[in-house]
Amino acid sequence: MITKVYLVRHAEAAGNVAKTFQGHNDCEVTEKGHKQLACLAERFKDVHLDIIYSSPLLRTRQTAAAVNKYHGLDVHINQGLIEINGGDLEGMGWEDIPLKYPEQQEMWDNAPHEYWAPNGEKMSEVYERITSTVNHIVHENTGKTIAIVSHGCAIRNYLCYAHGWGIERLRDVMWEENTSVCCIEYHGADCTPVIVYQNDTTHLSPELCTLAHQSWWKTTITEETK
């Protein structure tokens, strides 16, 4: 029996454009983000879904609503799917962080597995939280097809786990585009994850992509070598 998960990153939100540490800030989807959502809804129109889960933040709930447009399912809000808590860095511009928090910036860029946010979360806590949450959802819905809507940092951590890597390999995982879709299948009684594809944006035209037109976020080994 195979359980399938579509792991979706939220649409472009205000912080993605303002280049701020969004974290738990409840930013709304932008005008461009709504165009991304229209495309995402069409992508999922003929995809069978049994159940949908979302982080509690507005940008993910808006994205989950688009995934659900043609399905009429209940969207289950799960706190464990929320983005990293940036603590004192919440809402701060990425250009200001290295000036005020150089240690955090150095870790974020070069050793993200060691990252910790003052008065926020450690990256290792995000890794454990998102892994536990998604795996619990999978075990509760064995044999079903599930859509899960979450955030860039949280998804990056889960993909690290799904690759079979410990958190020390986090820097090897590329960032996901807004509304990108990852497909993960789980086989056997232990529900071992197998990544079918990741960061798929075939539903978006080039001009509707967000990260493709920015370079400030490129801190992964994968993206540096492009």
Could you list the active site residues?
Answer: 10, 83
13 is annotated as contributing to ligand binding: yes
9 is annotated as contributing to ligand binding: yes
48 is annotated as contributing to ligand binding: no
Q: Per-residue DSSP letters for 132-192?
A: HHHHHHHHHTTT-EEEEEE-HHHHHHHHHHHTT--GGGGGGSPPPPTT-EEEEEEETTTTE
156 is annotated as contributing to ligand binding: no
**Cα 189 to Cα 138: distance, rounded to the nearest angstrom:** 11
**Cα 194 to Cα 100: distance, rounded to the nearest angstrom:** 40
91 is annotated as contributing to ligand binding: no
68 is annotated as contributing to ligand binding: no
59 is annotated as contributing to ligand binding: yes
Positions at the binding site: 9-16, 59
Positions at the binding site for substrate: 9-16, 59
